[in-house]
Amino acid sequence: MTVAERQRFEELKRDQSLAALTVGLDDDQAAAGAVEQFLTSILGAALSDPSRGGAAVIGDLADQVKQARDNVASFTSGGGGAANDNQDLQAQIEQQRTRADTAERNAQISSLALSVFQGAGDIGMGRPQLTQNNYMLHPSDPQVLATIAGASVAGMSQQPFVTSSRTNLGL
């Protein structure tokens, strides 16, 4: 690599390290893609110009391109088992995948629960769906409570009077 290329490579690696510090993975994926594109272009230049280092340099560049491609592939859900060479970033990728899987599973459960709670509805019989309203009294005013209680027991005076039987226990 030339001095300018080496400097650009160091800048890209710096950007990749800084992107690893953020929560989202979009910037990490963009930085890894930029490194992969840069190394691919350097490998192409080395292949076309043998004076840039020979077989050892080309082999080293090819290994770096392979690792960069594996890093880019590790961001996709079906990354073919490719793991990122940065363990912290790989852990972040796995956490994001787990969160996405959990969110998808929760959405499926919620959707199924809603379909159960909605009931069968009109299943082709042409009848409207039954609606049941339950109105309950929960007054907090003592006067309202007394009025409700009086109305509730008002009909009890219309019942026939039955005397309670008494039993002498002999005490």
Per-residue pLDDT tens for 143-164?
Answer: 888 888 888 887 777 777 767 7
Name the residue with tokens 């629960």. Answer: 113
H helical segments located in the chain: 3-19, 26-48, 55-73, 87-118, 142-153
Which amino acid is present at 128?
P
Q: In the numeric block, which tokens belong to residue 17?
A: 């390290």
Tell me the average pLDDT across 1-25: 80
Q: In the numeric block, which tokens belong to residue 136?
A: 């309950």
Q: Which residue from 84, 64, 79, 72 is spatially nearest to 29, judged by alpha carbons?
A: 72
Q: What is the reported pLDDT for 10?
A: 85
38-84 pLDDT per residue, tens: 888 888 887 787 777 777 777 888 888 888 777 777 776 554 555 66
